[in-house]
Amino acid sequence: MIVLGIDPGFTITGFSIVCKIQGKDTVLDCGYLSLPAKKTLDIRIGIFFNFFMEKIKKFQITDISIETPFLGKNVQSFLKLGYLRGVLYLLANQNDLQLHEFSPREVKRAVTGFGGAQKEQVAQVLFMLFPKLPKPKKEDVTDAIAISLCGLWQQKRSNFL
């Protein structure tokens, strides 16, 4: 099982690819995709699609994990986020991948044991789990690592049921 975790955003999208190697959770790749603000919507969505299609092929992804969106004050941002989520559903369908969704509280609870944890607390736990992991430049990357681990750990839990 190789999980691609994505924290989608129309400006910055964090991603992480995790799997188990010899029984140990391992981060194979992580980083962020910066979508050019001056490009049109269709160009940005195309960049997003191509970037993640390449990751899926390169790493032989089996599962995609995403966080359910939070509707804040900006409805336009929420709608644009929906476009990116639609692309992720399409990628999952076209590549026969399982798609998992987690609420922000589920992600925080899975990583820290507390659904109301702050982002800094989630990051602290992740750096304890992966001490050799360089500190990401964007918190979207840390979020994506946590999201991808949720997908990996959910599969492990469901194997016991």
Mean pLDDT (whole number) for 103-114: 92
- Which CATH number describes the domain made up of 2-160? 3.30.420.10
DSSP string, 37-53: TTS-HHHHHHHHHHHHH
Active site residue 139: no
Q: Active site residue: 29, 139, 140, 143, which one?
A: 140
Radius of gyration of the chain (CA): 15
Angle, CA 61 vertex, CA 148 and CA 101 arms, to 5°: 40
Question: pLDDT averaged over the chain?
Answer: 91
pLDDT tens for 32-73 read: 999 999 999 999 999 999 999 999 999 999 999 999 877 666
Q: Catalytic residue among 29, 42, 63, 67, which?
A: 67
Q: Tally the C-alpha atoms within 13 A of residue 54's C-alpha that lie toward its C-beta.
A: 9
Examine the residue annotation and report whether 7 is marked as an active-site residue of this protein: yes
pTM: 0.91
The pLDDT value recorded for residue 160 is 39
Strand residues in 22-133 grouped as ranges (E): 24-34, 63-67, 98-102
Residue 67 falls in the annotated catalytic set: yes
Give the per-residue pLDDT at 71.
66
Question: How far apart are the C-alpha atoms of 75 and 30, rounded to whole Å?
Answer: 29
